[in-house]
Chain A
């Protein structure tokens, strides 16, 4: 009785092992390849170029960078938004130009967050802060 059981177990194990190996062998020599294509989107941050073009451009024979400095340091050019906005609107429909915590120009009704560029502006006759960061954010 006991001998029969052992015999049966051995036969069963051999039969199971044979069946398993038969099933697995094809998989060992098989390689299933999945090719996943990832499309990389290329975007260009034009904020730096827009800021560069803005600061280089002139208004009534004076560079915009100089006008911004005089506005911040001496409170001149109270209409600075009217000077800057038409230039930025040619580049983007949503923009915000700030210096420190002061907003120089902003498109109303939208919140610019996508691309940011900064430039350091020297402030004359300002002993407490000689350099301020000008930041342009566009969408």
Chain B
């Protein structure tokens, strides 16, 4: 009888203890476990969208009629002045001109490749350049130096441009070997790259406006 009473008392105590411990455990549960959400966005893609929108709205490329700038309506004359026209072999010399437009509109430590192509006519403009370099010896400066050192300006460039069956300004200036060598430099410096396209209109005159595409490749380190 005595043993049964002792057993009951001990069992009651244990159940009481268990109940208390469960309450305390859940009371401290919120304190013990902390969930930290980190929203990771693809910064390079965001930068490329912003940069392309700035190019489309800039009066250096967009049509301006003294009252307003027409966003995404690019002026043919401005494109000819600021960018390399694929049909004008002399304009290829602008590649060595340190591309003023991209120097003014770009992110630091970035390389930009801008292409505007006409959808209704065989006409393409492109420009290659880099943003301001912040810090010596950064990956992007090494990448830019690599790309510039591999530029090939020779009579064969027109054949290289069409070797895939359509005009590609990148192929005109660099071979696959050059691109691969410089991409290895970019990868070695943990760089990121993004490619985006945007619909635009290209204005030749008041009565001649074509649809086109603005493509932007951005590499950042």
Contacts and interface: CB of A to CB of B under 8 A. Distances in A.
A52 B72 contact: yes
Given A31-B31, A33-B36, A56 B73 contact: yes
A40 to B, nearest CB: 4
Contact of B2 (A1, A40, A90): A1
Interface residues of B, number: 51
Interface stretch (A22-30, A68-76, A106-114, A124-132): A22-30
A47 B208 CA distance: 22
Given A9-B13, A36-B37, A42-B46, A27 B32 contact: yes
A123 B13 CA distance: 86
Interface residues of A, number: 45
A34 B38 CA distance: 11
A38 B25 contact: no
A44 B38 contact: no
Nearest to B204: A58
Contacts of B40: 37-40
Given A34-B34, A53-B199, A16 B14 contact: yes
A5 B9 contact: yes
Interface of A: 1, 4-5, 8-9, 12-13, 15-17, 19-20, 23-24, 27-28, 30-42, 44, 46, 49-50, 52-54, 56-58, 61-63, 87, 90-91
